Amino acid sequence: MDVHPNHTAESLKRVLLTTILLLFVNAIGQAQPTGLYLEESVVAGGPEYFMEARHVVLKGSNYEIGRKIAEIAKRNNDRIKPSGDPLRNKVQREYMERNYPIHYERMKGVADAYGLKIENNAYDFCEIDQFAGILGCSAVFYPGGFTQNKHDVLSRNYDFTTGNIEGKRIRKNEFAIMSRPYIFEVYPDKGYPSLYIAAFDLLGGALDGINLEGLAVATLADGGPRENPVMGQDEHTIGFHALLSMRYLLDYCKDVTEAKEAMLYLKHYNLVIPCHFIIADKSGQSFVFEFSRLRNTSYLIDGHGIQCITNHLTSKYSKAENASGKDRNIKESIGRLEALRKACRRGGPFSLNEIKSINAEVAIPPYISNDRVYALGRTLWHSIYDLDERKLSVKFYLGEKPDPKDKSKALLRHSDYINFQLSTN
C-alpha cells in the first residue's frame, strides 16, 4: 500500500503536538497542587509592629499541604540547606515513612516545592527552618466542672525573646525570631483536622493546638542550663523533636488515652533544651508528660481537677524549697507554678475573664532592661483553647513604648483576642 508523504508528515505532526501537550499537562500537574484550598490573611499586627501573625487555612492532601507550607516558607526566604549527615537524613526519612506516613507525604510536597527529590539524602525534608529556643511559658487546664460555661479549657502563656535567633537585640532591617507566627487551620485528607500555632518549624511544628476530636496540646521548656546535663546532646538524632510530637498527637490521637500511648511509643529527641508537655481532652482528662534529667525515665502525671505547668520538672520539684541552691530559672518557674495554683484555689467555677486574669498574673512583667546585647523576653501570646467548641482565642504582643510615669517599665501593646474555630463540615 502506498503512503502519501503529506499524510505521513501530518501524522507525525499530530503525534508531536499531542506529545508536547501531554508533557505540558504533566508539567503543570507536577508544578502546583491541584486540589488544594487556601486562605491566608494577616490577623494581628503588621510591618509597623513587632509582630505580624497570619492565619492560614489549608484543605487538601497532605502532599499538597506540605508543598504549600514549603512555598510559604520560600516566600519568607526560608531555605532548606544541605546537611552534612546524609546517613542520618536517610534513616530519618525512612523512620517517618514507617512511623508517621502523614508527615512523610508532607515531606514529599516540601521536596517538590524546593525542586528536589525526596530520596536526596543530602537534605532533611522533615522540617523547615527549625530553631530551638528556651520557651518560658505557663499553662493551666480547667476541666468543665471548674468553668462557668462547663467547657474544658486550656489556657497558655507563650513567653519568648523579642530578639533574634541568638536572643540578641535586633538590628536595623532584621526580624525578631518570633515576629512571624502562623495560625494554621488544616483539613488534610488523612489525619484529624487541627488548629494550631506554629513557629520555628513551619512544616511539623505545633507550639500549642487543638484537633477536631477535642484534644489540646502545648509544649513548654523544662528547666535551666545547670539543670540539664543532656541539654543539646540529642539534637540531630532520629525521631521526633518536641514540636513535631505535638503535631503527631493532633494528627492521630482523639483523647488522652491515645495520646499517652503515642508519647510512650515515639522516639523523642531534644530541641537544644528539653521540653515537657500538657495534653488534655474534652472529657476533662489531662496529663503532663516529661522525662527525667538523664532521659532514662518518662513520667505521665495525671491531672486531678485543674492542672498547672510552668518550666521545671513537676515530677522532681513540688515546692520552691525543693529547689534550694538550684538554678534561679527553676526557682522562678516554681514561683509561677505556686502563683497559678494559689489563684486556682480561690474557688470557681471560673469565667473566661477570670481565666485570662489568672494567666496575666504570671505573664512576664513589663520591666525594661539596660542590657545592650540581649533582648527582653515578653509574653508573646496568650492562647485559650475551648475543647468543647474546638475554638482558639488568642491575644498577641505587638510592641511597647516607655512608660512616662516609670522609667523602669514599658507600656505593652497587644492585639484584641482573636477567635478561630475548626469547621465540622
With a CB cutoff of 8 Å and minimum separation 6, the contacts of 391 are: 210, 385, 419, 420, 421, 422
What pTM was estimated for this model as a whole?
A: 0.88
Percent with pLDDT over 70 in the chain: 84
Q: Find the largest Cα–Cα distance for the chain.
A: 103
Nearest to 213 by CA among 197, 191, 228, 234: 191
With a CB cutoff of 8 Å and minimum separation 6, the contacts of 286 are: 141, 143, 256, 278, 279, 280, 302, 303, 307
Mean predicted confidence (pLDDT) in 154-159 = 98
> Grid coordinates in use for 425?
463540615
Domains along the sequence of the chain with CATH = 138-174+218-421 (3.60.60.10)
Nearest to 411 by CA among 421, 398, 396: 398
Instruction: Specify the DSSP class assigned to residue 144.
Output: G
pLDDT: which is higher, 181 or 3: 181
**Using CA atoms, how far apart are residues 278 and 287, in angstroms rounded to an integer?**
6
pLDDT: which is higher, 96 or 2: 96
pLDDT in tens, 121-142: 999 999 886 454 455 799 999 9
With residue 324 as reference, give the H or E element that holds it.
none
Amino acid of residue 286? S
pLDDT at 24 over 80: no
Mean predicted confidence (pLDDT) in 258-280 = 92
pLDDT band with cut points at 50, 70 and 90 for residue 318: low
Mean predicted confidence (pLDDT) in 1-5 = 42
**Using CA atoms, how far apart are residues 396 and 387, in angstroms rounded to an integer?**
21
Nearest to 153 by CA among 347, 337, 359, 301: 359
| 19-33, 309-323, 380-394: range with lowest mean pLDDT | 19-33
Nearest to 51 by CA among 411, 399, 420, 394: 399
pLDDT at 3 over 50: no
Identify how many contiguous H helices and E strands the chain contains and give both numbers: 8, 16
Q: Give the chain's mean pLDDT.
A: 87
- Cα-flanking dihedrals φ and ψ of residue 307, to 5°? -125, 130
**Using CA atoms, how far apart are residues 344 and 107, in angstroms rounded to an integer?**
42
pLDDT in tens, 378-404: 999 999 999 999 999 999 999 999 999
pLDDT at 275 over 70: yes
pLDDT in tens, 186-241: 999 999 999 999 988 899 999 999 999 999 999 999 875 444 444 444 556 899 99
| 30-39, 215-224, 414-423: range with lowest mean pLDDT | 30-39
At 230 the pLDDT is 46
